[in-house]
Every structure is written in C-alpha cells, then in structure tokens.
Amino acid sequence: MPTQFLILVVDDDAVTRLMICRFLERNGYATKAAEHGREAVEMFQKQSPDLVLMDAKMPLMDGFLACEEIKRLPRSKHTPVMMITGLEDDDSVDRAFAAGATDFITKPIHWAILRNRVKYLLRAVEAERKLHLSDRVFQSTSEGIVVTDAKAVIQSVNPAFSQITGYHSDEAVGRHTRMLKSGNHDLSFYEKMWDALIQSGKWQGEIWNRRKSGELYPQWASFSAIRGPSDEITNYVAVFSDLTAAKESEKTLVHITGHDGLTDLPNRLAFFERTQKFLADARRRQERVGVLMLDLDRFKVVNETMGHNLGDGLLVEVAKRLISVIPDRGLLARMGGDEFGLLCPCVQEPEDMALLAQKVLNILEAPFDIQDMELFIGASIGIGLFPMDGMDVNTLVRNADTAMYHAKEQGRNNFQFYRDKLNTSSMARMILEGSLRSALDRNEFELFYQPQVDIQSGALVGAEALIRWNHPERGMVSPGEFIPMAEETGLILPMGRWALRSACQRAVAWSNEGLPPIRVAVNLSGLQFRQPDFIEIVEREVQRSGLDPQYLELELTESIAMGDVEETFDKLKTLSEMGCQIAIDDFGTGFSSLSYLKRFPIDTLKIDRSFVRNCTEDSEDAAIVKTFIGLAHSLKLRVIAEGVETEPQRLFMVQNSCDEIQGYLYGRPMPAGEFQKMLTEQLHNGGGVHLTP
C-alpha cells in the first residue's frame, strides 16, 4: 500500500477550508487544516505534511509570510507550498515565488485543476525523495560505488569508494577504472568479466584491486551494465566491499577450527590438509617425507586415576617437549586424545626417521612435573614414509598408525616402521645407538672380569676387565656390538673413562677385603688413547681410587700403538714412569714394526686368540705362537695366551714357556662378585684355581 500523502490546508475561511479538505480526502489524501499563518507554521512543525495549500490573504500572518517562515524550517526543503491567491496579478505571483512557494492557484478554485496540480506536485515530491534516498544510500553505504560511462571512465564515486581505495572523488572522476587494477589477475580474467557484463549485464565475484597506497586488497564486487532507451550500454555501476577484514576473520576462523585449543598445536584436520599439500610438493620435487604417529603409553591410566586436569597438563607439557624436536619445515599436530602427529620433510634415509623417533622417545623419558607430581610417561611411535608407505595423507597416516599399534604390541616405548624390513638390521642399530647414549647415565654398564692365570703355579694373578651393557630390553649386549658404535659417536670417551675408574675402584675394593693384590687389565680404545689429556685422566683415576699403579695394566692394540709413534712413545713412557703396566693386545693381528715395539716401554704381549685356537692342530700357527713367545722373552716381556679353551692348548703353552693363560678353560668373563669368590677360594686353598668345565 502506497504511503498516504498528508496535505496541510491553510485558509481563514472555514467553508473554503472544509471544502478543500473534503475534496482532497475524496481523492485519497490525508488533510490537516489551519486557520491562519501562525497556526500553519506550528502545524507544519508538528505534522510534517507532504504539501501545503496556503491562502494568501489571512489575518495575523498572511500566506506569503507563513510560506517564508515554513521554508526556513529545516524539513521543508522537499515540501512544496502552493499559494492560493485571490487575484491573478503579477505582484501576487512574484510575491508567492519570492516567499518560496512552488506553485500557485487562483480563487475561485477550479477543482480539476487543483486535483492535477496536487497530483504532479506530490509525484515530484516522491521522485525527489527517492532520489534523496538513493543519494543517501550512495553517500552513506559502506560499500564502494563507482559509476562509469560506457568506456569505463569514472563518472562518480561515493565516500566509501574513497575510504576503501584511498582515492578522493576528484582523483578518480574522469579516469579509467584500470587505475584500480592490481595486476593479480591475468588478461583472461578481465576478458571473462567483460564478456559476462556485456552478455548478461552482470558480473559478480572476488577481485583484487590496488589502493592508492599501492596495497593490494581483495574485494567482493558486483558490476552492472546500464542500458539506455535504444538498448545501448550507457553506464556501468560497480558496487564492491573490501574483503580484507573478512579474510582476516576467515583466517582466525581457520585458526580456531584448525587448532587444538589445549596445546595450541594444529589439529588433525589441519595436519591432514597441510600434509596433503606437502605431499604434492614432495611428489614434484621427488622427495621422501616421513610421518610419525605418536601415542603416549599409559596416558589413559594417568587421565582416569589422576583426573583430567592433570591429564591436560601432561598433554600440554608433552606438546612443549615435542615442539623442540620438530625438524626444519616440519609440522607437529595433536591428532586427538593423546596422539600426536609429526611430519618430517626431506627424509634422506629411513634412518633419519629412526633417529628422530629415538630423539622423541629420549625427550619424553625425563619425568614430567605436573601439579607437584613426577610423572613418567613413554610413547609408542609408528613411522610411515612417503611415497613407499602411501601416496596420500590418508594412507600414510593410516599405515603409520598401524606401525604405532605394532610398537605398542612390542612392549611400548619404542618405534616401528610400517615396513617390516626397516625395523630390523639397520634399524636395530639405530635403536641401539639411541639407547647407548643414555646407557651411561642410567648405569647400564658393568665390568666383567676374566681370570688371568700363571701357567706354572696355576695362581690367579690378574683379571681383564671387559665391559658389558645391561640393556633394559635386550639383556646383556656384547661389546662387539656396541663398542664400534661408541667409537663412531665418541661415546667411547666417557664410557672408557668409566671403565678405567670402575676397574681401579674394584681392584682397591678387593684388596680392602683382605684379598691378595691382583692386576687388573683395562682395554683402551684408540680414540681414548689419542685424547690430549689421556695421561691426566689415567693419573686422576688412579689417584682417586688409591690403586697402586703397578696393579693397573693398560691394553692397547698394535694399531693403536703404531698410530703416531712419537706420541705413543711419549705417552707410554709417562704411563710407565707412573708405574702402570702396558700390554699389547691381540698381538699378531696387526703389522707391528718390531723395532718400534722394542723401543716402547711395554710389559706384556697378548697373543691373539686366533693363533691359540689352532696351535695344537696347525703346525704353522704353532710355529707362529712359538716365535711370538720367543720374541717376547727376548724383549723381556711377559706373554699371555688369550682364548685358551682346552687342556691340549694349555699343555702347548706350558711346553712353550708361555707365562700366563687367559681363556674359558679357567673362566669366562664374570661379574665382579663371582670373580671375588674365586679370589677368596684361592686364598683359602692356598693356591690353584678351580677349572671350569
């Protein structure tokens, strides 16, 4: 229903007033009546009529004056005033227009003329108001509006346009719209846009433009083509809104939906999305990518018995530690519950992933301090490799998960590859290496002692200290497995020092028990011996233990001794002067220069087991062993035969005047306690060592 116009009728003559009102009402208008000018002005302010019909001649305030006053009111601008004059004289007409009247009509009133005049005046009012409204919209909307001509030359812009683009209307009007081009879109984008505009008269979409400042910004734009009477395009109108803010909030939305609120890590969704993108890249670059799925062991128990607050706290702390091991360009996410996912780009070898997994296990090993409690928690890790274990993120994560469950079955706190092959051989090595690093701190090393027996008297005269690794899962690990690894990683240094210290302390402990003093032999690695402060280390350990240095024998192989001969000579001399004994280990397997050996202050030659093994069957080996013994004796060295396992071998050594024997025949390397028992028995029996079968 159209709005009903209100007409204010002003006449001092009551009959005329009434008749005009009746007539207008019959024509569908609402009316108000005023008796004189003064009342008219008051009424105008109260009622805001759409049109005023004003008699010119009235008492108190005439029509001209009242018209003038009304026109001074702020809201009267778009309200026409029609004067009703008695006379059609020029003077009255001039006065009416001068007072601001829009039109006039003469008395006596011609009703048909009145009807038409009112009708047209009000139509104009309506049109003007609409225009005013659209102008208001144009001026005040937050959307930028650009009107161009058919050649896209800007005709007018609104304030929002200026606010968004930074161009004042003076700077924009008269210029082509290409001034706003961002350069972000190619030619075909604009071609398509113009095609659509010309074909259908409309185009809508996201488009990047450039602000006056040079900054690019995204906008949502709606373009319309305006056609003239003969259907030719006369104008284009663009309405657009700045999407910068929307994009920002979109980003935070993604942040919220892609994020885990507890740990502030990306969540499963984000992990999948980003990994998928990552794999596409890796495929192009032909790179290997690793995915590591980690599930905390015993987390459920913690969570259920100690409460969810504590569980949450633990997850946050776990996340913090995991963040510290994220590889370059890698990605850590909380997949849900107590499961985390780690994406590792650029994996050269599967071993890289094994190392990373071990690193993760190591950093989770230290206890967590949460709410004044110390919690220990392990993790089970599954590893999947792109592209072998899956070409897409779903397969890859699923397979890594499978591997993770496998790790759980394996007794937790370990990692497994999805590919079984990778779990053995080289991986076993990696696992070992990882745990070797912490073995010393965790006190997992132990020295075993193997008897060295005087061949003439059968007395126990010495012990070779041989290191053992008490691995928490694998049990005893033989030195052949971990010593080379320890040498590669440098761990041999702290390890060797530990062995030296323990052996010295043990020898002192035995003599403190009242047992006869016994020589302990400690093996040295090349790396250890080459350490610049090696001598000081030995000195310190000997002093600290209080061992008489003559009971300490240092074993080094020919190849170590032959490294840097001058250095060896100096070091051995110093050690010898300190009172330590020096043994050449595995003699016969290296290519020692005898003349140098002669120069070195050596006490003992240990004939390698490989010659001893065959000396009773192989005449060549027999000859070699005999030569070694002869040579040693000529240099005034004591000779120890290593690896004597049988009675014939022992007899061979007796017959050839070997000095001492070390081998399974007299005893395997044994824990210190067992060795002490042997020593004690010897003390009580006053001699001979019991043979072990």
* Binding residues for Ca ion (CB under 5 A): 523, 555, 585-586
Binding ligand C2E (rule: CB under 6 A), the pick from 669, 672, 675, 689 is 669
Binding ligand C2E (rule: CB under 6 A), the pick from 21, 483, 504, 639 is 483
Binding ligand C2E (rule: CB under 6 A), the pick from 218, 258, 378, 479 is 479
667 binds, among ligand C2E, Ca ion, none (CB under 5 to 8 A by kind): none
| Min separation Cβ 261 and ligand C2E, Å | 52
- How far is residue 596's CA from residue 563's CA, in Å, rounded to a whole number? 12
Binding ligand C2E (rule: CB under 6 A), the pick from 224, 645, 674, 680 is 645
422 binds, among Ca ion, ligand C2E, none (CB under 5 to 8 A by kind): none
Nearer to ligand C2E, 313 or 496 (CB): 496
Q: Counting contacts by CB under 6 A, is residue 692 touching ligand C2E?
A: no
Nearer to ligand C2E, 126 or 454 (CB): 454
Nearer to ligand C2E, 350 or 496 (CB): 496
Nearer to ligand C2E, 103 or 645 (CB): 645
Which of the stretches 287-295, 426-434, 451-459, 637-645 binds ligand C2E when contact is defined by CB under 6 A? 637-645
Residue 441, CB-side half-sphere exposure with 13 Å CA sphere: 8
Tell me the backbone φ, ψ of residue 363, rounded to 5 degrees. -75, -20
Nearer to ligand C2E, 138 or 666 (CB): 666
- How far is residue 533's CA from residue 550's CA, in Å, rounded to a whole number? 21
Alpha-helix residue ranges (DSSP H) falling in 417-461: 420-423, 426-439
Which of the stretches 144-152, 479-487, 538-546, 592-600 binds ligand C2E when contact is defined by CB under 6 A? 479-487
| Radius of gyration of the chain from its Cα atoms, rounded to whole angstroms | 52
| Min separation Cβ 615 and ligand C2E, Å | 13
- How far is residue 584's CA from residue 626's CA, in Å, rounded to a whole number? 17
Judged by CB under 6 A, the chain residues 598 through 627 that form the site for ligand C2E are: 609
Binding ligand C2E (rule: CB under 6 A), the pick from 2, 261, 475, 480 is 480
- How far is residue 69's CA from residue 42's CA, in Å, rounded to a whole number? 10
Alpha-helix residue ranges (DSSP H) falling in 364-514: 393-409, 420-423, 426-439, 479-489, 492-512
Closest CA to 456 of 658, 625, 645, 616: 658
419: amino acid identity, one letter: R
Match 């079955």 to its residue by tokens: 409
Q: Counting contacts by CB under 6 A, is residue 586 touching ligand C2E?
A: yes
Q: Using omega within 30 degrees of 0 as the cis cutoff, is the peptide bond preceding 74 cis? A: no
575 binds, among ligand C2E, Ca ion, none (CB under 5 to 8 A by kind): none
Q: What angle do CA 344, 346, 349 make, to 5 degrees?
A: 95
Count of residues of this chain found to bind ligand C2E when the rule CB under 6 A is applied: 21
| Min separation Cβ 524 and ligand C2E, Å | 6
Judged by CB under 6 A, the chain residues 59 through 118 that form the site for ligand C2E are: none
Run of H or E residues at 651: helix 647-655
Strand locations in 211-320 (E): 216-227, 233-242, 289-296
Q: Counting contacts by CB under 6 A, is residue 664 touching ligand C2E?
A: yes
Closest CA to 575 of 516, 506, 528, 636: 528
SS3 of residue 496 by DSSP: helix
Neighbours of 308 (CB within 10 A): 10
Taking the alpha carbons at both ends of the chain, their separation in whole angstroms is 119
Which of the stretches 98-106, 475-483, 590-598, 652-660 binds ligand C2E when contact is defined by CB under 6 A? 475-483
337: amino acid identity, one letter: G
427 binds, among ligand C2E, Ca ion, none (CB under 5 to 8 A by kind): none
| Residues pairing with 585 in the sheet | 557
Judged by CB under 6 A, the chain residues 427 through 466 that form the site for ligand C2E are: 450, 466
Task: Give the pairing type, strands 379-386 and 289-296.
Answer: antiparallel
Q: Counting contacts by CB under 6 A, is residue 467 touching ligand C2E?
A: yes
| Min separation Cβ 669 and ligand C2E, Å | 5
Binding ligand C2E (rule: CB under 6 A), the pick from 496, 551, 552, 675 is 496
Match 């070797």 to its residue by tokens: 436
Cα 581 to chain centroid, rounded: 56
Judged by CB under 6 A, the chain residues 499 through 528 that form the site for ligand C2E are: 499, 523-525
| Min separation Cβ 470 and ligand C2E, Å | 14
Task: Give the pairing type, strands 660-662 and 670-671.
Answer: unpaired
Nearer to Ca ion, 523 or 604 (CB): 523
Q: Counting contacts by CB under 6 A, is residue 478 touching ligand C2E?
A: yes
Tell me the backbone φ, ψ of residue 447, rounded to 5 degrees. -100, 130
Q: Counting contacts by CB under 6 A, is residue 498 touching ligand C2E?
A: no
| Min separation Cβ 553 and ligand C2E, Å | 12
- Site residues, ligand C2E (CB under 6 A): 450, 466-467, 478-480, 483, 496, 499, 523-525, 585-586, 609, 643-645, 663-664, 669
